[in-house]
Structure 1
Amino acid sequence: MKGWHMDTRHITYFMAVFDHLHFTKAAEQLGISQPTLSQQIQLLEAEVGMPLFDRIGKKVVATEAGTLLYQYGMKMLQAERDAKNAMKELLSEQRGTVRLAVLPSDLDFQLVPLFVEFKTLYPEINLKAFSTIFVRDEVLSHKVDIGIGLRGPADKRLIQIPLGDEPYELFVHSDSELAKRREVTLKELTKHALVMYPKGYLGRDLVDDVCKEHGFELDTVMDVGSATSLLQLVEAGIGATIQPRGLLKQHSAWPNIVSIPISAPAPVRHLELTYYADRFVTKAQKQLSEWLIDFFKSRTN
């Protein structure tokens, strides 16, 4: 391996192949021909001095060298983006893009008013909010700037700011026999009609896990994938739902729904805001982070 002349274009080509493990799909994403891409990867392999991919029949598999280069490639591309962002911010403090990953379901629904406020104050900023259950992975791979997700183990690569703990409560129609109760137990809800997120959604799994720990399971009359749909079903009297307390607190549009605390064992979610520790943070990102922290403090107080 003599002098390296690796540029970000070669790294971008390499990263696309690594992500797809398919030369044709990577070439389509990059907008170049498949032979051109293959040639560029061969040049890069010659420069590195070892193969980056093994071609096993029709399959493409990353080598150990390829996996290592991918880790450094992410840092190289992020360093270039950071430099460009820093220059852009010097030119204009009001411009740029902020990418936010949020757990799907109720959180993306509840944050819309905050997004509107942010856009009003920063009309030139392009705010991109993504719903994903892989919040931490998206932050670590530099695909988003800020993440709001379930609290995870400490990671030196990340800044992790706790956003408080939020208990789940039972939402029922005000005409329900349960509406006047001061609290309910999860076990007694096995006898009532419930509407919930489908299995596999974090909010549903959190509830199911607590039930399993205590030897019972909840049945549902309907599973739907959005917070709005669940609240509409409760309002229509189809069934009750178990959701984070803040969901109803933030929205007064549901006058016929009441929230009842669940006695122990009650599902609780622990949230955190994360961003990559060693990277440039724009003023817009700082502002959005501060607003998000304030938003969650107001929910848990």
Structure 2
Amino acid sequence: MELKQLEYFMTLCRELHFTRAAEKLGIAQPSLSQQIRLLEHEIGMPLFDRTGKRTAMTEAGKILLHHSYHIFHELSQARAAISELQGLKRGNLKIGALLTVVSYLLPQTVIEFHRSHPNIKLSVLGMRTGDIYHGLLQNELDLGIVCLPVEHDDIEAIPFFKQPLALAAPKHHPIAKEPFVTLDMLKEIDSILLPDTYFLRQLINEQCRALGSSPGQSWK
């Protein structure tokens, strides 16, 4: 059963005349008759009584007409809902972000987004990088915010924020006098870093290994 057939059927129900209905639809009368016959074959019962030039709906036709109104109404509602979704007037948005992002970067953005789009249900989840990747690939998240680089063929990454890493040290520590700190310096000092399960820690370890060194003693 096709929507076009239902459209033809509903027009014929209004006109109760094949020639006039065909003219309304802009098709030839034999084409309309053929589509109605196909629809009746699909239904398994006649939809119209044809007596001479007179056409009347059968009980099956009346039932199908009733449900056809509902079908096209639901389609209209679906189009309206999708249109609102495209215009950010309604819908759901689920974001997975690193905990530091959730705490420091997102609060004001979320407030402004809610003011602009009050009917969008926004969910922000603090997650680790691997879990964010999994959520995106499983279509459980609409958006993920992680640290670069993102190396995955099925995930598109768009850089939107840059921030230099800083080393916090006691005021009187020798390294505090340096104008900047390189990763190579970390092997010379004890350092407190995030656990190995965090992407940022893994990135620091990777960069240190590339330099032939490793971070100093760390406490998790």
TM-score by structure 1 length?
A: 0.38
Larger Rg: 2
Q: Considering Cα pairs closer than 8 Å and 6+ residues apart, tell me whether 1 or 2 has the greater RCO.
A: 1
Choose between structure 1 and 2: higher helix proportion.
2
TM-score by structure 2 length?
A: 0.50
